[in-house]
Each structure stands twice: as C-alpha cells, then as structure tokens.
A and B are shown apart, each in its own frame.
Chain A
Amino acid sequence: MLRDVVSPLTYHYQTWQQTVLELEALSKTYKTGDQALTNVSFSVPAGQVVGLIGPSGAGKSSLIRCINRLVEPSSGRIYLGETELTKLSGRALRQARRRIGMIFQEYALVERLTVMENVLSGRLGYVSGWRSFLRRYPKTDIDQAFSLLERVGLGDHYNKRADELSGGQRQRVGIARALEQNPELLLADEPTASLDPKTSRQIMRLIQSVCREMNLPAIINIHDVVLAQNFADRIIGLQAGEVVFDGPPSALTHDVLTRIYGAEDWGQVQQNNESQDDEALFSNAKVLERS
C-alpha cells in the first residue's frame, strides 16, 4: 500500500541497460526464528550504485551476505548475470564469489599482513593454494595491485602492515582488495560506519567514482541517509526485512523516511546535518526540504 507513494515502476533507469544482479523473492529466516528478509526482489543494472538504508536489524547485512552466500538464503533466487548463485556449492560457489567484491564495516583486513598481501588476497580465488602460500602471485596480479593502490591513494604504503594504517587508509585497502578481484558486482556493508564524517564522504566518493570508471554496480549498506542520498543513484529502503522504498534519492521524503525508520522529527535531523561544515551536506539538506 505504501509502496504506491513511489512505485518502483514509476522510476525508470534510462541509462541503466544490462542487468547484472537479480534477486527473486529472497527470504531468510535464521535458526533462531528471526525472519531477516521477506520476499525481497529487485535487480541492479551495470554501473548503478544502490544505497541500502533501513534501521538496525532491518536485514541489510543479511541481504548483502545472502548475495555472496556468506549467509545462506532460506528461499528465493539470486542471479549474477547468467549464474544462479543460490544453486551453487563447493568450487562453483567459490568461483562465483570471485566475481563479487566485498567491503566491510570494520575493514576486515588481515591486520598482521602487509597492505600488499591484503590487496593480493583479492586474487585468492584465482591462484593455487601453493602459490598463495608462497605469496608468488602472477606479475599481472601484482601490477594491478600496485595500480589499484595508486588509484586509492596508497601508492607508497604497500609494504606497511595493515594495522599501521588509519581507519580511512584501511578502508582504502579494503576497496583495493575488492577491486583486485576484477568484480562484476561490489557489495559494501556499512563501509563508513567506523569513520569520521569527512573520511566517510571521501570513502563514499571513492567508491562512487571507481564504480563510474569501471561501470561497476554496487550495493552499499549505509546508516547515514544523507551520505546515501549524496552518493547513490538509487535508494532501497528496508524495514523489518521488506523493501518499503525503491526509488531515486530525490524521492526520499519525510513520509518515506518515516515509513522506513518510524516516526521521528526528520526536519531536526536535517538541521543537524546542516551544522556540519560540509557544503554537500548543506545542499543536500535543501534537496530534502524541497522534495
């Protein structure tokens, strides 16, 4: 019923052509009986950055993890291109995971390995266990790792241990590791939750721009509504495991936010955002008021 406010059907993606990811009636019920996802369906075309918003416990993390099967979906189907991910197991599943890069909330770098080893671990699905054990990666992999580190602005840090880096730098390594996979899809689970506001924006901007450059679609779980609006092409709102909003960032109105998060004085939230000294935040708050 509430979906009628902004129907997905009324929102056309003229520029998005080829579908990369397709979810069909995805549901997840945990052993404890918690229903994390109910009948979630949507598709993501190449190059589109999707911001997945919703309150804590809405199923955002479960949704992301169902896609690369770190969490087993209970029912429904997921297609990555022509491959039905939900049918795979063993080697075939590992080979499909190579095609999906993932960025994590607490970076999830292997803290005691070097930056280079962390980035190269993105190639683990492609090299033999013996080669990876001896850290003897093909030269093309190493060259790519260097150019990705250059791209994320960490060209000089390749020999440092991951735990020597700051939060923002670590997340850049996380991005480089995901891109080292040459993925067809990027998943990000709260990539900015552990970062300060400025670094958060830099990281989101980086993710957005690499997605543009590589025509890479991304699904980004994010708490911060304003960040999501600034850097996503499309917003999907999840509430208690169900999609309650799917549309362009400009369509996120008070009503929609209330529907996703529950009643709250959203005007107040916008004002708070204005007080942060960032121009983009400011202009975005206006967008919210207009809509």
Chain B
Amino acid sequence: MTTRADTPIWQFRTSKQHMLRWVGWFWLVALSVFCWTLMTEDTIWAFVADAPRQASDIGGRMLPPRWGYLNQLWQPLWDTLNIATLGTLIGVIIAIPVAFLAAGNTTPSRRFVRPVALLVIVTSRSINSLIWALLLVAIIGPGLLAGIVAIGLRSIGFVAKLLYEAIEEIDESQVEAVRSTGASEAQVIDYAIIPQILPAFWGISVFRWDINIRESTILGLVGAGGLGLQLQSSLSTLAWNQVTVIFLVILATVVVSEWVSAKVRRAVL
C-alpha cells in the first residue's frame, strides 16, 4: 500500500456550507417569530381566556343528540352520496382524455396540446370545491346539479394529474413490444398502457370518491344541496343537538366510504 503525503481530508460539509446552513436556520426562526407577532396582533386575549368555558357550554348544548332529527337526514344524506358519486363519475370521464393528453409519453404534441391539458388540470385543482359550488350556484341556481358539477370540476384536475403521472411511469418496453407487432396507436394504448395503469386508475378514482363524499357534506353551506344545507339551518337556529346528529352521520358515512375504498384498492392490486 502506498501512502500519499497530500491525502485530502474528507468532511461531510465544508465550512462554507456550515455557515450557509446556520444563516438559513437563523432567518427561519426570525421569520417565525415575526409571523407570530403579526398573527396575534388582533387577538382579543379575553376571548381566548374564555375559550374553555365557551367550549364546554356549546358541548353541553350539543348533548344529548336529538336522535329524532335523524329521520329528516336520510334524504339529504342520499343527495350527498349522489353528488359525490355522480360528480366523481363526471370528473373521471373527463379526466381520462385530459391525462392522456398531458402525459409526456402519450400526448400528441408536447409543445401545444400538453400545456393546454396541464392548464386544465391546474385550473381545476387550484379552485376548491366550495368555491366551484359558490360560482355554480350563482350560474345554474341552487340545488343538487350545482353540487354535482362542482365536485366534477374539482375532480378532473386531481384524477388527471395522478393518472398522467401513472401513465408517465409505465414500463416502456411493453409499449415497444406491442408496437413492434404492427399494432395501431389505439391498440398500443389498449394492450400496453391501459393494463399497466388500471390499478392506479381504480385506486385514484375510489380515493377521489372518498374525498368527494367528505367535500359534498359541506357543499350545502353555499346552497348546493345535501347534508350541508341541514347543517347550515341547524347552525343558524343554534340547534346544537341537531348539529351533533349531523356530525355523527357524516362521520359514519366517511368511515364506510373509507372502508369501501380500501376494499376496492386491495381488490385491484
């Protein structure tokens, strides 16, 4: 073995990197302190001090739940489920072509079509369902339809984004193999791409449906139908014992939908 006089000294980080990291952390802490002062500027501390008493007061009014109210909730619950399911369906149907246009390996044109598809996805994703619903209630009037369309519009971006990422991650050798048989582009999609993305597709769709059930429970707050409508009227009449019943119904629905989506995802993998 030979030894070298000028053996370099190895360090995990150079002293310059150390310095930079220290300065970085310093500014992060300084920024946090500054933000905290801004946040608490308008806080009335008397109200905060009062919080435990207020909470226990409302808690007291919420209990016991008014179980009789349950009978008025079945119809809105059914509406909520319909909003979520139909909205997801619309979203998924539109998202599929958008995803194929957005995926780098299936888009007909990277320069023109892909940016448009990505814009559709970003637009849909950047606007919350509640805001979509607010807009749509103004445009097509209050009711279930506004809720369904709002959920659908919001779902397009979510489903298309995850789906196009799945399309971009496929094994290209399978595509090559199917193409080498003389298959047309449609057949390549049918035989080489769809089988590879099908588990992801079902997983994404069911996951979105699951999210949509949660979101559609509050759409009624802005007049788009479903349980939210009941929630709003109970809140505005200070009927806290009814609010409890609504919360419990929402909780039960979400638990069931999560169970269903977990089952479906396990079945397709």
Binding site for B on A (CB under 8 A): 68, 70, 94-100, 102, 104-106, 108-113, 117, 121-126, 129, 132-133, 174, 177, 181
Contact = CB atoms under 8 A, between A and B. Distances in A.
Nearest to B186: A129
B179 interface: yes
A112 B182 contact: no
Given A110-B191, A121-B191, A98 B181 contact: yes
B178 interface: yes
Interface in B192-231: 192, 195-196, 198-199
Contact of A104 (B176, B182, B186): B176
B183 interface: yes
B56 interface: no
B187 A112 contact: no
B180 interface: yes
B268 to A, nearest CB: 10
Contacts of A70: 176, 179-180
Contacts of B184: 94, 124, 129
Nearest to A96: B182
A125 B183 contact: yes
A110 B199 CA distance: 14
Contact of B173 (A108, A117, A122, A129): A108
A125 B181 contact: yes
15 contacts: A94-B182, A97-B181, A98-B181, A102-B181, A104-B177, A108-B176, A110-B177, A110-B178, A111-B195, A112-B195, A124-B182, A125-B182, A129-B187, A129-B190, A132-B183
Q: State the main secondary structure of chain B at its contact with A.
A: helix
Contacts of A122: 181
Given A70-B176, A104-B177, A124 B198 contact: no
Contact of B183 (A68, A104, A106, A124): A124
Contact of A132 (B173, B176, B190, B195): B190
Given A132-B190, A133-B190, A121 B178 contact: yes
Contacts of B179: 70, 97
B174 interface: yes
Contacts of A126: 182
A110 B174 contact: yes
A125 B182 CA distance: 4
Contacts of B187: 124, 129, 132
B182 A121 contact: no
Contacts of A133: 190
B177 A108 contact: yes
Contacts of B181: 97-98, 102, 121-125, 177, 181
A112 B177 contact: no
